[in-house]
A and B are shown apart, each in its own frame.
Chain A
Amino acid sequence: MSILIFAELKEGKATKAALEAASYASKAAADLGGEVIAVTAGHIEGDAGLGAYGVTRVFNASDANTSDSGQLSKAVVAAAQESGASIIVMAHDHAGKLVASRVSVKLNAGIVAGAIALPTNTEGFIVKKSVFSGKAMAHVEIKTAHKVITITPNSFGLHTNDKGTAEVTALSADLGQSKVTVREFKPTSTDGSIPLPEADLVISAGRGMKGPENWGMIEELASEFGAATACSRPVSDIGWRPHHEHVGQTGIAIRPNLYIAIGISGAIQHLAGVNGSKVIVVVNKDPEAPFFKAADYGIVGDAFDVVPKLTEAVKRFNAG
Protein backbone atom coordinates (compact mmCIF):
# COMPACT_ATOMS: atom_id res chain seq x y z
CA MET A 1 0.00 0.00 0.00
CA SER A 2 1.67 3.21 -1.13
CA ILE A 3 1.13 6.31 0.97
CA LEU A 4 0.70 9.86 -0.30
CA ILE A 5 1.55 12.77 1.95
CA PHE A 6 0.44 16.36 1.43
CA ALA A 7 3.44 18.47 2.46
CA GLU A 8 3.09 22.19 3.11
CA LEU A 9 5.97 24.31 1.81
CA LYS A 10 7.38 27.48 3.36
CA GLU A 11 9.88 29.29 1.14
CA GLY A 12 10.15 26.17 -0.98
CA LYS A 13 10.98 23.80 1.89
CA ALA A 14 8.70 21.33 3.67
CA THR A 15 7.61 22.53 7.12
CA LYS A 16 8.64 20.59 10.22
CA ALA A 17 5.07 19.25 10.51
CA ALA A 18 5.24 18.07 6.88
CA LEU A 19 8.57 16.30 7.51
CA GLU A 20 6.95 14.63 10.50
CA ALA A 21 4.12 13.45 8.23
CA ALA A 22 6.79 12.07 5.86
CA SER A 23 8.51 10.28 8.78
CA TYR A 24 5.18 8.80 9.88
CA ALA A 25 4.27 7.70 6.35
CA SER A 26 7.73 6.12 5.82
CA LYS A 27 7.34 4.00 8.93
CA ALA A 28 3.76 3.06 8.04
CA ALA A 29 4.77 2.24 4.46
CA ALA A 30 7.60 0.03 5.74
CA ASP A 31 5.05 -1.85 7.89
CA LEU A 32 2.39 -2.10 5.19
CA GLY A 33 4.68 -2.46 2.17
CA GLY A 34 4.75 0.39 -0.33
CA GLU A 35 6.45 3.67 -1.12
CA VAL A 36 5.90 7.22 0.05
CA ILE A 37 4.94 9.87 -2.47
CA ALA A 38 4.39 13.54 -1.70
CA VAL A 39 2.22 16.23 -3.22
CA THR A 40 3.18 19.87 -2.71
CA ALA A 41 1.87 23.22 -3.89
CA GLY A 42 3.53 26.49 -4.83
CA HIS A 43 7.24 27.27 -5.16
CA ILE A 44 9.52 24.29 -4.42
CA GLU A 45 13.29 24.25 -3.81
CA GLY A 46 14.88 20.96 -4.88
CA ASP A 47 12.90 18.13 -3.32
CA ALA A 48 11.88 20.42 -0.42
CA GLY A 49 13.94 18.24 1.92
CA LEU A 50 11.44 15.38 1.64
CA GLY A 51 13.79 12.73 0.20
CA ALA A 52 15.77 12.53 3.42
CA TYR A 53 12.57 11.52 5.22
CA GLY A 54 11.77 8.61 2.93
CA VAL A 55 9.76 10.28 0.14
CA THR A 56 10.70 8.84 -3.28
CA ARG A 57 8.61 11.02 -5.60
CA VAL A 58 7.13 14.51 -5.31
CA PHE A 59 4.31 15.89 -7.44
CA ASN A 60 4.32 19.66 -7.29
CA ALA A 61 1.34 21.82 -8.26
CA SER A 62 3.26 25.06 -8.74
CA ASP A 63 0.26 27.16 -9.80
CA ALA A 64 -2.13 26.13 -7.02
CA ASN A 65 -3.50 28.82 -4.73
CA THR A 66 -2.21 27.50 -1.39
CA SER A 67 -5.08 29.19 0.46
CA ASP A 68 -7.76 27.52 -1.64
CA SER A 69 -8.97 24.24 -0.11
CA GLY A 70 -10.70 23.38 -3.40
CA GLN A 71 -7.56 23.61 -5.56
CA LEU A 72 -5.31 21.96 -2.98
CA SER A 73 -7.67 19.03 -2.47
CA LYS A 74 -7.92 18.56 -6.25
CA ALA A 75 -4.11 18.43 -6.41
CA VAL A 76 -3.96 15.84 -3.61
CA VAL A 77 -6.58 13.65 -5.26
CA ALA A 78 -4.90 13.92 -8.68
CA ALA A 79 -1.59 12.81 -7.10
CA ALA A 80 -3.36 9.95 -5.29
CA GLN A 81 -4.80 8.74 -8.58
CA GLU A 82 -1.52 9.21 -10.45
CA SER A 83 0.46 7.25 -7.83
CA GLY A 84 -2.20 4.70 -6.89
CA ALA A 85 -1.82 5.56 -3.19
CA SER A 86 -4.75 4.52 -1.02
CA ILE A 87 -3.60 6.11 2.24
CA ILE A 88 -3.26 9.89 2.48
CA VAL A 89 -1.29 11.39 5.36
CA MET A 90 -0.85 15.03 6.32
CA ALA A 91 -0.13 17.11 9.40
CA HIS A 92 -3.03 18.05 11.67
CA ASP A 93 -1.95 21.69 11.38
CA HIS A 94 -3.30 24.78 9.60
CA ALA A 95 -2.64 23.26 6.17
CA GLY A 96 -4.00 19.81 6.97
CA LYS A 97 -7.11 21.25 8.60
CA LEU A 98 -7.81 23.19 5.40
CA VAL A 99 -7.41 20.29 3.01
CA ALA A 100 -7.90 16.84 4.60
CA SER A 101 -11.69 17.01 4.97
CA ARG A 102 -12.24 17.80 1.27
CA VAL A 103 -9.83 15.05 0.21
CA SER A 104 -11.72 12.54 2.32
CA VAL A 105 -15.02 13.35 0.59
CA LYS A 106 -13.48 13.30 -2.91
CA LEU A 107 -11.94 9.86 -2.29
CA ASN A 108 -14.91 8.56 -0.31
CA ALA A 109 -12.38 7.88 2.45
CA GLY A 110 -12.85 7.57 6.18
CA ILE A 111 -10.68 10.00 8.10
CA VAL A 112 -8.90 10.03 11.44
CA ALA A 113 -7.96 13.64 12.18
CA GLY A 114 -5.43 14.16 14.96
CA ALA A 115 -3.72 10.75 15.01
CA ILE A 116 -1.01 10.23 17.64
CA ALA A 117 0.30 6.78 16.64
CA LEU A 118 0.95 4.59 13.62
CA PRO A 119 -1.97 2.58 12.23
CA THR A 120 -2.31 -1.06 13.20
CA ASN A 121 -3.68 -3.45 10.60
CA THR A 122 -4.28 -6.72 12.40
CA GLU A 123 -7.97 -6.49 13.35
CA GLY A 124 -9.11 -3.83 10.92
CA PHE A 125 -7.20 -0.65 10.06
CA ILE A 126 -7.08 1.19 13.39
CA VAL A 127 -5.55 4.57 14.20
CA LYS A 128 -5.20 6.02 17.69
CA LYS A 129 -6.21 9.63 18.15
CA SER A 130 -6.57 12.10 20.96
CA VAL A 131 -10.18 12.82 22.02
CA PHE A 132 -11.94 14.85 24.72
CA SER A 133 -9.34 17.55 24.11
CA GLY A 134 -6.48 15.46 25.45
CA LYS A 135 -8.38 13.87 28.35
CA ALA A 136 -8.58 10.50 26.54
CA MET A 137 -7.57 8.56 23.43
CA ALA A 138 -9.73 6.64 20.96
CA HIS A 139 -8.86 3.70 18.72
CA VAL A 140 -10.70 4.46 15.50
CA GLU A 141 -11.22 1.96 12.71
CA ILE A 142 -11.28 3.27 9.14
CA LYS A 143 -13.62 1.04 7.16
CA THR A 144 -13.23 2.47 3.65
CA ALA A 145 -10.78 1.44 0.90
CA HIS A 146 -9.13 4.86 0.85
CA LYS A 147 -7.99 6.29 4.17
CA VAL A 148 -7.02 9.78 5.32
CA ILE A 149 -4.91 10.34 8.44
CA THR A 150 -3.83 13.71 9.83
CA ILE A 151 -1.19 13.51 12.54
CA THR A 152 -0.90 15.75 15.57
CA PRO A 153 2.35 17.77 15.43
CA ASN A 154 5.09 16.43 17.76
CA SER A 155 3.28 13.12 18.30
CA PHE A 156 5.62 11.06 16.12
CA GLY A 157 8.84 13.04 15.78
CA LEU A 158 11.27 13.42 12.88
CA HIS A 159 13.07 10.34 11.57
CA THR A 160 15.35 10.72 8.57
CA ASN A 161 16.32 7.57 6.74
CA ASP A 162 18.85 8.90 4.26
CA LYS A 163 17.04 7.57 1.24
CA GLY A 164 18.54 10.51 -0.60
CA THR A 165 16.70 12.75 -2.96
CA ALA A 166 13.12 12.49 -4.16
CA GLU A 167 12.32 12.85 -7.85
CA VAL A 168 10.21 15.98 -8.43
CA THR A 169 7.72 16.21 -11.27
CA ALA A 170 5.10 18.79 -12.12
CA LEU A 171 1.58 17.63 -11.30
CA SER A 172 -0.58 17.63 -14.38
CA ALA A 173 -4.11 18.25 -13.20
CA ASP A 174 -6.86 20.75 -13.86
CA LEU A 175 -7.30 22.54 -10.54
CA GLY A 176 -10.14 24.76 -11.79
CA GLN A 177 -10.72 28.43 -11.02
CA SER A 178 -9.65 29.56 -7.57
CA LYS A 179 -12.59 30.68 -5.45
CA VAL A 180 -10.66 32.65 -2.83
CA THR A 181 -8.40 35.67 -3.20
CA VAL A 182 -5.64 36.41 -0.71
CA ARG A 183 -5.49 40.10 0.28
CA GLU A 184 -2.62 39.98 2.72
CA PHE A 185 -0.51 37.90 5.07
CA LYS A 186 0.04 39.20 8.59
CA PRO A 187 2.86 37.55 10.49
CA THR A 188 2.03 37.16 14.19
CA SER A 189 5.54 36.48 15.30
CA THR A 190 8.94 37.85 14.49
CA ASP A 191 11.14 35.86 12.13
CA GLY A 192 12.77 32.83 13.62
CA SER A 193 10.30 32.34 16.44
CA ILE A 194 8.77 28.88 16.74
CA PRO A 195 5.12 28.11 15.94
CA LEU A 196 3.60 26.87 19.20
CA PRO A 197 2.17 23.52 18.01
CA GLU A 198 5.57 22.49 16.61
CA ALA A 199 7.73 23.74 19.47
CA ASP A 200 9.79 21.16 21.39
CA LEU A 201 10.04 23.40 24.45
CA VAL A 202 7.26 25.66 25.69
CA ILE A 203 7.27 28.17 28.54
CA SER A 204 3.74 29.06 29.60
CA ALA A 205 2.51 31.54 32.16
CA GLY A 206 -0.78 32.43 33.79
CA ARG A 207 -2.53 34.90 36.04
CA GLY A 208 0.20 34.44 38.63
CA MET A 209 2.24 36.88 36.53
CA LYS A 210 -0.12 39.67 37.70
CA GLY A 211 -0.01 41.72 34.49
CA PRO A 212 1.20 41.83 30.86
CA GLU A 213 4.06 44.13 31.82
CA ASN A 214 5.69 41.22 33.66
CA TRP A 215 6.00 38.96 30.61
CA GLY A 216 9.51 40.21 29.88
CA MET A 217 10.98 37.67 32.30
CA ILE A 218 8.95 34.85 30.71
CA GLU A 219 10.20 35.82 27.25
CA GLU A 220 13.75 36.00 28.56
CA LEU A 221 13.49 32.52 30.06
CA ALA A 222 11.95 31.21 26.82
CA SER A 223 14.73 32.76 24.81
CA GLU A 224 17.40 31.09 26.99
CA PHE A 225 15.66 27.72 26.57
CA GLY A 226 15.00 28.33 22.85
CA ALA A 227 11.34 27.78 23.70
CA ALA A 228 8.03 29.11 22.40
CA THR A 229 5.78 31.04 24.80
CA ALA A 230 2.20 30.14 25.68
CA CYS A 231 -0.41 31.19 28.22
CA SER A 232 -3.53 30.09 30.07
CA ARG A 233 -7.05 31.01 29.00
CA PRO A 234 -7.74 33.78 31.57
CA VAL A 235 -4.60 35.56 30.43
CA SER A 236 -5.62 35.58 26.76
CA ASP A 237 -9.25 36.42 27.65
CA ILE A 238 -8.26 39.58 29.50
CA GLY A 239 -5.94 40.50 26.65
CA TRP A 240 -2.58 40.20 28.40
CA ARG A 241 -1.43 37.83 25.67
CA PRO A 242 -2.63 37.11 22.09
CA HIS A 243 -5.28 34.41 21.54
CA HIS A 244 -2.93 32.23 19.51
CA GLU A 245 -0.82 31.62 22.63
CA HIS A 246 -3.74 30.14 24.59
CA VAL A 247 -3.23 26.44 25.28
CA GLY A 248 -5.93 24.30 26.83
CA GLN A 249 -9.24 22.69 26.01
CA THR A 250 -10.62 25.66 24.09
CA GLY A 251 -7.27 26.92 22.90
CA ILE A 252 -4.72 24.73 21.20
CA ALA A 253 -3.48 21.35 22.38
CA ILE A 254 0.29 20.90 22.32
CA ARG A 255 2.70 17.99 22.88
CA PRO A 256 6.17 19.46 23.44
CA ASN A 257 9.07 17.56 25.01
CA LEU A 258 9.11 20.06 27.84
CA TYR A 259 6.27 22.24 29.14
CA ILE A 260 7.05 24.67 31.94
CA ALA A 261 3.96 26.24 33.54
CA ILE A 262 4.53 29.35 35.62
CA GLY A 263 1.78 30.81 37.79
CA ILE A 264 -0.87 28.51 36.30
CA SER A 265 -2.95 26.60 38.84
CA GLY A 266 -3.78 23.73 36.47
CA ALA A 267 -7.55 23.73 35.91
CA ILE A 268 -8.79 20.57 34.19
CA GLN A 269 -9.40 22.55 30.97
CA HIS A 270 -5.78 23.70 30.89
CA LEU A 271 -4.39 20.24 31.67
CA ALA A 272 -6.38 18.79 28.77
CA GLY A 273 -4.38 20.89 26.31
CA VAL A 274 -0.93 20.04 27.67
CA ASN A 275 -1.01 16.55 29.19
CA GLY A 276 0.46 15.07 26.00
CA SER A 277 3.73 16.84 26.91
CA LYS A 278 6.61 14.48 27.67
CA VAL A 279 7.84 16.38 30.73
CA ILE A 280 5.87 18.96 32.72
CA VAL A 281 7.45 21.42 35.15
CA VAL A 282 5.23 23.53 37.40
CA VAL A 283 6.29 26.69 39.20
CA ASN A 284 3.61 27.96 41.59
CA LYS A 285 3.63 29.68 44.94
CA ASP A 286 0.63 27.63 46.09
CA PRO A 287 1.82 24.14 47.11
CA GLU A 288 -1.81 22.96 46.76
CA ALA A 289 -2.08 23.99 43.08
CA PRO A 290 -3.67 21.01 41.26
CA PHE A 291 -1.08 21.30 38.47
CA PHE A 292 1.58 19.68 40.71
CA LYS A 293 -0.39 16.41 40.51
CA ALA A 294 0.12 16.36 36.73
CA ALA A 295 3.76 17.50 36.86
CA ASP A 296 7.07 15.65 36.72
CA TYR A 297 9.01 18.42 38.46
CA GLY A 298 7.77 21.21 40.68
CA ILE A 299 9.04 24.31 42.37
CA VAL A 300 6.95 25.93 45.09
CA GLY A 301 7.87 29.58 44.99
CA ASP A 302 7.04 33.06 43.77
CA ALA A 303 7.46 33.35 40.00
CA PHE A 304 9.03 36.80 40.41
CA ASP A 305 11.71 35.21 42.52
CA VAL A 306 12.16 31.83 40.80
CA VAL A 307 12.01 32.82 37.12
CA PRO A 308 15.03 35.21 37.09
CA LYS A 309 17.08 32.64 39.03
CA LEU A 310 16.04 29.89 36.66
CA THR A 311 16.97 32.08 33.68
CA GLU A 312 20.43 32.60 35.17
CA ALA A 313 20.77 28.83 35.73
CA VAL A 314 19.84 28.11 32.10
CA LYS A 315 22.31 30.78 30.93
CA ARG A 316 25.08 29.05 32.88
CA PHE A 317 23.99 25.67 31.49
CA ASN A 318 24.06 27.01 27.93
CA ALA A 319 27.51 28.50 28.51
CA GLY A 320 28.57 24.94 29.24
Chain B
Amino acid sequence: MNILVCISKAPDTTSKIAFTDQNTRFDTNGIQFIVNPYDEWYALVRGIELKEQNGGSVTIIAVDEADSDPVIRKAIAIGADKAVRIDARPTDPSFVAQQIAAYAADKNFDMILCGKETINYNGGVVGGMIAEHLDLPYISLATNLDMEGSKAVITREVKGGSEVLEVDGPFVLSASKGLAEQRIPNMRGIMAARTKPLDVVSAAEAADATTVRSYELPPEKGDCKMVDPEHPEELVRLLHEEAKVI
Protein backbone atom coordinates (compact mmCIF):
# COMPACT_ATOMS: atom_id res chain seq x y z
CA MET B 1 0.00 0.00 0.00
CA ASN B 2 1.50 3.23 -1.26
CA ILE B 3 0.43 6.14 0.94
CA LEU B 4 1.14 9.87 0.56
CA VAL B 5 0.63 12.13 3.59
CA CYS B 6 0.60 15.90 3.10
CA ILE B 7 1.98 17.92 5.98
CA SER B 8 2.58 21.54 6.73
CA LYS B 9 4.41 23.31 9.53
CA ALA B 10 2.41 25.42 11.97
CA PRO B 11 3.16 27.53 15.02
CA ASP B 12 2.93 25.62 18.30
CA THR B 13 -0.62 25.81 19.66
CA THR B 14 0.50 27.89 22.67
CA SER B 15 1.97 30.61 20.40
CA LYS B 16 1.02 34.23 20.89
CA ILE B 17 0.37 35.67 17.44
CA ALA B 18 1.90 38.98 16.31
CA PHE B 19 2.65 40.63 12.97
CA THR B 20 5.43 42.82 11.54
CA ASP B 21 5.98 45.04 8.49
CA GLN B 22 2.78 47.01 9.08
CA ASN B 23 0.78 43.87 9.76
CA THR B 24 1.68 42.20 6.49
CA ARG B 25 3.94 39.41 7.84
CA PHE B 26 3.54 36.88 10.61
CA ASP B 27 6.15 37.55 13.28
CA THR B 28 8.06 34.27 13.64
CA ASN B 29 10.27 35.69 16.37
CA GLY B 30 10.26 33.24 19.29
CA ILE B 31 7.75 30.93 17.55
CA GLN B 32 8.26 27.17 17.83
CA PHE B 33 7.07 25.36 14.72
CA ILE B 34 5.42 21.96 14.89
CA VAL B 35 3.86 19.60 12.37
CA ASN B 36 0.29 20.83 11.85
CA PRO B 37 -1.67 18.74 14.41
CA TYR B 38 -4.36 17.45 12.01
CA ASP B 39 -1.67 16.34 9.55
CA GLU B 40 0.43 14.62 12.20
CA TRP B 41 -1.93 13.22 14.83
CA TYR B 42 -4.57 11.92 12.47
CA ALA B 43 -3.50 11.73 8.80
CA LEU B 44 0.09 10.63 9.30
CA VAL B 45 -0.53 8.25 12.19
CA ARG B 46 -3.44 6.54 10.37
CA GLY B 47 -1.25 6.19 7.27
CA ILE B 48 1.49 4.56 9.33
CA GLU B 49 -1.00 2.22 11.05
CA LEU B 50 -2.36 1.07 7.67
CA LYS B 51 1.18 0.46 6.42
CA GLU B 52 1.94 -1.58 9.55
CA GLN B 53 -1.18 -3.71 8.95
CA ASN B 54 -0.96 -4.11 5.18
CA GLY B 55 2.66 -3.44 4.21
CA GLY B 56 3.75 -0.77 1.77
CA SER B 57 5.25 2.62 2.37
CA VAL B 58 4.38 6.06 3.70
CA THR B 59 5.77 9.12 1.94
CA ILE B 60 5.47 12.56 3.53
CA ILE B 61 5.15 15.59 1.28
CA ALA B 62 5.46 19.25 2.25
CA VAL B 63 5.59 22.43 0.19
CA ASP B 64 7.95 24.75 2.02
CA GLU B 65 11.41 26.23 2.22
CA ALA B 66 14.53 24.64 3.74
CA ASP B 67 13.87 26.02 7.24
CA SER B 68 11.00 23.52 7.56
CA ASP B 69 13.31 20.48 7.28
CA PRO B 70 13.58 19.95 11.08
CA VAL B 71 9.76 19.83 11.27
CA ILE B 72 9.64 17.33 8.38
CA ARG B 73 12.27 15.17 10.17
CA LYS B 74 10.01 15.14 13.25
CA ALA B 75 7.17 13.82 11.10
CA ILE B 76 9.42 11.12 9.58
CA ALA B 77 10.35 10.06 13.13
CA ILE B 78 6.78 8.95 13.78
CA GLY B 79 7.33 6.15 11.28
CA ALA B 80 7.26 7.32 7.67
CA ASP B 81 9.64 5.85 5.09
CA LYS B 82 10.66 8.96 3.24
CA ALA B 83 9.80 12.59 2.70
CA VAL B 84 9.67 14.97 -0.22
CA ARG B 85 9.87 18.72 0.09
CA ILE B 86 8.74 20.86 -2.82
CA ASP B 87 11.04 23.83 -2.52
CA ALA B 88 8.73 26.88 -2.51
CA ARG B 89 7.10 29.28 -0.08
CA PRO B 90 3.51 28.13 0.50
CA THR B 91 1.58 31.37 0.11
CA ASP B 92 -1.69 30.21 -1.48
CA PRO B 93 -3.69 26.95 -1.27
CA SER B 94 -4.15 26.69 -5.06
CA PHE B 95 -0.40 26.89 -5.50
CA VAL B 96 0.30 24.26 -2.82
CA ALA B 97 -2.30 21.85 -4.23
CA GLN B 98 -0.88 22.17 -7.76
CA GLN B 99 2.60 21.34 -6.45
CA ILE B 100 1.45 18.21 -4.61
CA ALA B 101 -0.78 17.09 -7.50
CA ALA B 102 2.10 17.53 -9.96
CA TYR B 103 4.35 15.37 -7.77
CA ALA B 104 1.71 12.67 -7.15
CA ALA B 105 0.39 12.50 -10.72
CA ASP B 106 2.64 9.63 -11.92
CA LYS B 107 3.34 7.87 -8.59
CA ASN B 108 0.22 5.65 -8.26
CA PHE B 109 -0.50 6.37 -4.61
CA ASP B 110 -3.33 4.25 -3.20
CA MET B 111 -4.38 7.11 -0.98
CA ILE B 112 -3.44 10.71 -0.24
CA LEU B 113 -4.11 11.82 3.33
CA CYS B 114 -4.25 15.44 4.54
CA GLY B 115 -5.22 17.08 7.81
CA LYS B 116 -8.65 18.74 7.72
CA GLU B 117 -7.04 22.20 7.94
CA THR B 118 -3.90 23.91 9.16
CA ILE B 119 -4.12 25.70 12.49
CA ASN B 120 -2.51 28.81 11.01
CA TYR B 121 -4.51 29.38 7.80
CA ASN B 122 -7.64 27.31 8.58
CA GLY B 123 -8.63 26.91 4.93
CA GLY B 124 -8.98 23.14 4.61
CA VAL B 125 -9.10 23.18 0.83
CA VAL B 126 -5.77 21.70 -0.30
CA GLY B 127 -6.95 18.06 -0.09
CA GLY B 128 -10.03 18.64 -2.23
CA MET B 129 -7.99 20.60 -4.75
CA ILE B 130 -5.46 17.75 -5.08
CA ALA B 131 -8.35 15.33 -5.62
CA GLU B 132 -9.80 17.53 -8.36
CA HIS B 133 -6.44 17.89 -10.13
CA LEU B 134 -5.95 14.11 -10.06
CA ASP B 135 -9.64 13.28 -10.73
CA LEU B 136 -9.91 11.21 -7.54
CA PRO B 137 -12.77 10.93 -5.03
CA TYR B 138 -12.39 13.32 -2.08
CA ILE B 139 -13.76 12.61 1.38
CA SER B 140 -13.66 15.50 3.83
CA LEU B 141 -13.56 15.46 7.64
CA ALA B 142 -12.87 11.73 7.98
CA THR B 143 -12.99 10.24 11.47
CA ASN B 144 -12.42 6.59 10.54
CA LEU B 145 -10.63 4.76 7.72
CA ASP B 146 -10.40 1.00 7.27
CA MET B 147 -9.51 -1.16 4.28
CA GLU B 148 -11.71 -4.08 3.19
CA GLY B 149 -9.67 -5.61 0.37
CA SER B 150 -9.36 -2.92 -2.30
CA LYS B 151 -12.27 -0.97 -0.81
CA ALA B 152 -11.77 1.84 1.67
CA VAL B 153 -14.51 2.26 4.26
CA ILE B 154 -14.52 5.81 5.56
CA THR B 155 -16.62 7.58 8.17
CA ARG B 156 -16.97 11.31 7.68
CA GLU B 157 -18.62 14.07 9.69
CA VAL B 158 -21.84 15.45 8.21
CA LYS B 159 -24.47 17.81 9.60
CA GLY B 160 -26.10 16.20 12.62
CA GLY B 161 -24.02 13.04 12.60
CA SER B 162 -21.67 10.93 10.57
CA GLU B 163 -21.85 8.91 7.41
CA VAL B 164 -20.12 5.67 6.44
CA LEU B 165 -18.89 5.61 2.84
CA GLU B 166 -17.27 3.09 0.54
CA VAL B 167 -14.68 4.04 -2.04
CA ASP B 168 -13.12 1.69 -4.55
CA GLY B 169 -9.65 2.64 -5.77
CA PRO B 170 -7.41 5.60 -4.97
CA PHE B 171 -8.82 8.57 -3.06
CA VAL B 172 -7.90 11.73 -1.17
CA LEU B 173 -9.10 12.29 2.38
CA SER B 174 -8.96 15.09 4.97
CA ALA B 175 -8.45 13.84 8.50
CA SER B 176 -10.46 15.02 11.48
CA LYS B 177 -10.11 14.17 15.14
CA GLY B 178 -10.73 10.47 15.77
CA LEU B 179 -9.02 9.08 12.66
CA ALA B 180 -6.09 7.93 14.82
CA GLU B 181 -4.53 8.46 18.24
CA GLN B 182 -1.58 10.81 18.52
CA ARG B 183 1.78 8.96 18.65
CA ILE B 184 4.91 10.15 20.39
CA PRO B 185 8.00 9.25 18.33
CA ASN B 186 10.39 6.90 20.16
CA MET B 187 14.19 7.20 20.23
CA ARG B 188 14.59 4.58 17.48
CA GLY B 189 12.25 6.53 15.22
CA ILE B 190 14.08 9.78 15.89
CA MET B 191 17.47 8.16 15.14
CA ALA B 192 16.14 6.48 11.99
CA ALA B 193 14.58 9.74 10.77
CA ARG B 194 18.07 11.26 10.50
CA THR B 195 19.06 8.86 7.76
CA LYS B 196 15.77 8.41 5.89
CA PRO B 197 15.58 10.22 2.55
CA LEU B 198 14.25 13.78 2.43
CA ASP B 199 14.24 14.63 -1.27
CA VAL B 200 14.04 18.23 -2.34
CA VAL B 201 12.15 18.81 -5.58
CA SER B 202 11.88 22.12 -7.43
CA ALA B 203 8.45 23.67 -7.72
CA ALA B 204 6.27 23.27 -10.80
CA GLU B 205 5.14 26.36 -12.68
CA ALA B 206 2.03 27.72 -10.94
CA ALA B 207 0.60 31.09 -9.95
CA ASP B 208 -0.95 32.22 -6.68
CA ALA B 209 -4.71 32.80 -6.94
CA THR B 210 -4.86 34.72 -3.65
CA THR B 211 -2.59 36.99 -1.60
CA VAL B 212 -2.81 37.96 2.05
CA ARG B 213 -2.76 41.77 1.96
CA SER B 214 -2.73 42.34 5.72
CA TYR B 215 -3.48 40.83 9.12
CA GLU B 216 -5.21 42.17 12.18
CA LEU B 217 -5.65 41.01 15.76
CA PRO B 218 -9.11 40.71 17.31
CA PRO B 219 -10.13 43.71 19.44
CA GLU B 220 -9.25 43.46 23.14
CA LYS B 221 -12.12 42.65 25.46
CA GLY B 222 -13.09 45.30 28.01
CA ASP B 223 -13.27 44.55 31.71
CA CYS B 224 -15.13 41.47 32.80
CA LYS B 225 -18.21 42.37 34.83
CA MET B 226 -18.40 40.14 37.93
CA VAL B 227 -21.69 38.77 39.20
CA ASP B 228 -22.33 37.56 42.77
CA PRO B 229 -22.40 33.71 42.76
CA GLU B 230 -25.33 33.81 45.19
CA HIS B 231 -27.41 35.81 42.70
CA PRO B 232 -27.12 34.30 39.21
CA GLU B 233 -30.49 35.89 38.33
CA GLU B 234 -28.45 39.09 38.02
CA LEU B 235 -26.48 37.43 35.20
CA VAL B 236 -29.71 36.47 33.45
CA ARG B 237 -30.91 40.07 33.75
CA LEU B 238 -27.62 41.42 32.30
CA LEU B 239 -27.67 38.95 29.42
CA HIS B 240 -31.23 40.00 28.61
CA GLU B 241 -31.16 43.76 29.22
CA GLU B 242 -27.53 44.78 28.68
CA ALA B 243 -25.96 42.23 26.32
CA LYS B 244 -29.33 41.47 24.66
CA VAL B 245 -28.34 37.92 23.75
CA ILE B 246 -31.28 36.12 25.41
Contact A313-B159, Cβ < 8 Å, known A70-B138, A201-B245, A306-B229: no
On chain B, the residues within 8 Å of A251 by CB distance are 177
Majority secondary structure of chain B interface residues (helix, strand, loop or mixed):
mixed
Interface positions of B from 184 to 214, Cβ below 8 Å from A: 208-214
Q: Are B236 and A113 in contact (CB under 8 A)?
A: no
Tell me if A246 is interfacial: C-beta within 8 Å of chain B.
yes
Q: Are B226 and A104 in contact (CB under 8 A)?
A: no
A69 within 8 A of B: yes
| A304 CA to B175 CA, complexed, in Å | 37
Asked whether A8 and B159 contact (CB < 8 A) given A109-B209, A111-B210, A137-B216, the answer is yes
Which residue from chain B places its CB closest to the CB of A17 in the assembled complex?
B159
A296 surroundings in chain B (CB, below 8 A): 221-222, 224-225, 243
Check B128 against A69 for contact (C-beta < 8 Å).
Answer: yes
Task: Give the residue name and chain of the B residue nearest to A144 (CB).
Answer: B209
Q: Known contacts being A135-B17, A279-B243, is A189 close to B161, with CB within 8 Å?
A: yes
| Complexed CA–CA distance, A310 and B51 (Å) | 52
Known pairs A114-B123, A142-B209, A268-B16; A301 contacts B163 (CB<8 A): no
The residue on B at minimum CB distance from A302 is B229
A253 vs B124: C-alpha distance when bound (angstroms): 13
**Which listed residue (A10, A104, A106, A113) contacts B159, Cβ 8 A?**
A10
Query: Is the beta-carbon distance between A143 and B165 smaller than 8 angstroms?
Result: no
The reply to whether A185 and B159 contact each other, CB–CB distance below 8 Å, is: no
* Interface bracket on B: 35 or more
Distance, CA A316 to CA B157, complexed state (A): 37
Q: Specify which of B122, B164, B239, B240 is in contact with A184 (CB 8 Å cutoff).
A: B164
* Residue B232 CB within 8 A of the other chain: yes
Which one of B1-9, B80-88, B89-97, B103-111 contacts A? B89-97
CB contacts (< 8 Å) of B158 on chain A: these are 67, 94, 185
> In the assembly, what is the distance between CA of A301 and CA of B232, in Å?
11
The SS class assigned to the A binding surface is mixed
- How many residues on A have C-beta within 8 angstroms of the other chain's C-beta atoms? 99
- Cβ contact within 8 Å between A186 and B17: no
Q: Is the C-beta of B119 less than 8 angstroms from some C-beta in chain A?
A: yes
Interface assignment of A240: CB less than 8 Å from any CB of chain B:
no
Which residues of B sit under 8 angstroms from A258, Cβ to Cβ? 239, 243, 245-246
Q: Which of B59-67, B68-76, B139-147 contacts A (4 or more CB under 8 A)?
A: B139-147
Which residues from B are CB-within-8-Å of A68? 137
CB closest residue in chain A, given B38: A250
User: Beyond A67-B165, A94-B159, A258-B245, is A138–B215 a contact (Cβ under 8 Å)?
Assistant: yes
* Sampled A-B contacts (8; CB under 8 Å): A69-B128, A97-B124, A102-B132, A105-B94, A114-B123, A137-B216, A138-B215, A183-B165
9 other A-B residue contacts (CB within 8 Å) besides A102-B131, A102-B138: A94-B159, A104-B125, A104-B129, A111-B93, A111-B123, A133-B119, A139-B216, A292-B224, A296-B224
Binding site for A on B (CB under 8 A): 11, 13-14, 16-17, 19, 37-38, 92-94, 97, 116, 119-129, 131-133, 137-141, 143, 153, 155-169, 174, 177-178, 208-218, 221-222, 224-230, 232-233, 235-236, 238-240, 243, 245-246
